[in-house]
């Protein structure tokens, strides 16, 4: 069973959390994409009805429109019943690193508005300590970004400006991303998150702490669900 098939299984299983009449969030990334496509199928066959969705990126918005999912906004639906999203790392407490896809700001805004955040991953994303495989993405404004990078270095990070081809990567909001590597991983993610967001020029960071209700993990031996304590 290849990795894409595992992602599809996780996305399909996560779609089972969606019920008719819900306002939901649609995450971004390769695994969450399968959940969006599955929700579109369920709506098309009538197994789901009256579902509206808030996409977390321009990419997801285009995919949802193609799948026939009615879209809404947080202004129209400030509380969402369920959001299905992916993650770059998941620790045993279901804390996350997100943002390698570039959509961390919108994803965190949507997660904060969600009653039940469901994360879909393959087993490679499970870690004992955050930051051991992935950097912490930090979204920063362009003005004075090199000063912001210096301040990030003071937290112990090795910040790397994310690039797209030869140009700096720009988020949907027009900001830069600095991928912050921490040798040995993160000892205290909560303290680090607060410190990062206290730096002028930082818009948001990719640490999603205490926001996850359940993680759907698809592995060759079968799909399993890890629920928050």
pLDDT band at 143 (very low <50, low <70, confident <90, very high): very high
Kindly report, residue by residue over 196-210, the tens digit of the pLDDT.
999 999 999 999 999
pLDDT tens across 131-141, in order?
999 999 999 99
Residue 8 tokens read as: 């599809």
Q: How many angstroms separate the CA atoms of 103 and 107, rounded?
A: 6
Hey, what are 160's tokens?
A: 């790397």
Domain at 3-123+209-220: CATH architecture: 3-Layer(aba) Sandwich (3.40)
Q: What is the CATH number of domain 136-206?
A: 3.30.70.260
Name the residues annotated as catalytic: 107
pLDDT tens per residue across span 90-118:
999 999 999 999 999 999 999 999 999 99
- Measured in whole angstroms, how far is the alpha carbon of residue 26 from the centre of its chain? 10
Residue 1 pLDDT > 80? no
Beta bridge partners of 117: 83
Across 117-124, average pLDDT: 93
Q: What confidence tier does 3 reach under pLDDT thresholds 50, 70, 90?
A: confident
pTM of the predicted protein model: 0.95
Average confidence score pLDDT of the chain:
96
Calculate the CA 132 to chain-centre distance. Answer: 18
Q: Can you give the residue ranges of every domain in the chain? A: 3-123+209-220, 136-206
Q: Which two tokens stand for residue 179?
A: 């991928």
201 phi, psi to nearest 5 deg? 100, -20
- The SS3 assignment for 141 reads coil
Given phi > 0 = left and psi -120 to 50 = alpha, else beta, which region is 201?
left
Coil, strand, or helix at residue 84?
Answer: strand
């Amino acid at each position: 069973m290849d990795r894409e098939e595992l992602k599809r299984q996780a996305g399909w299983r996560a779609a089972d959390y969606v019920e008719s009449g819900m306002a939901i969030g649609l995450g971004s990334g390769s695994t969450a994409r399968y959940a969006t496509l599955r929700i579109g199928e369920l709506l098309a066959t009538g197994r789901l009805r009256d579902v509206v969705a808030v996409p977390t990126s321009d990419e997801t918005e285009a995919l949802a429109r193609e799948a026939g999912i009615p879209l809404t906004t947080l202004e129209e639906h400030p509380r969402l019943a369920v959001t299905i999203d992916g993650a770059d790392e998941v620790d045993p407490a279901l804390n996350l690193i997100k943002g390698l896809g570039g959509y961390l700001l919108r994803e965190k805004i949507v997660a904060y508005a969600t009653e039940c955040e469901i994360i879909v991953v393959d087993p490679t994303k499970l870690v004992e300590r955050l930051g051991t495989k992935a950097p912490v993405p930090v979204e920063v404004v362009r003005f004075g970004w090199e000063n912001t990078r210096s301040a990030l270095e003071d937290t112990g990070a090795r910040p790397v400006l994310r690039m797209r081809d030869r140009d700096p990567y720009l988020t949907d909001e027009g900001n830069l991303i600095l991928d912050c590597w921490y040798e040995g991983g993160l000892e205290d993610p909560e303290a680090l998150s607060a410190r990062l967001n206290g730096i002028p020029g930082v818009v948001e960071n990719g640490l999603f702490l205490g926001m996850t209700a359940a993680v759907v993990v698809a592995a060759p031996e079968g799909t399993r669900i890890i629920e928050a304590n």
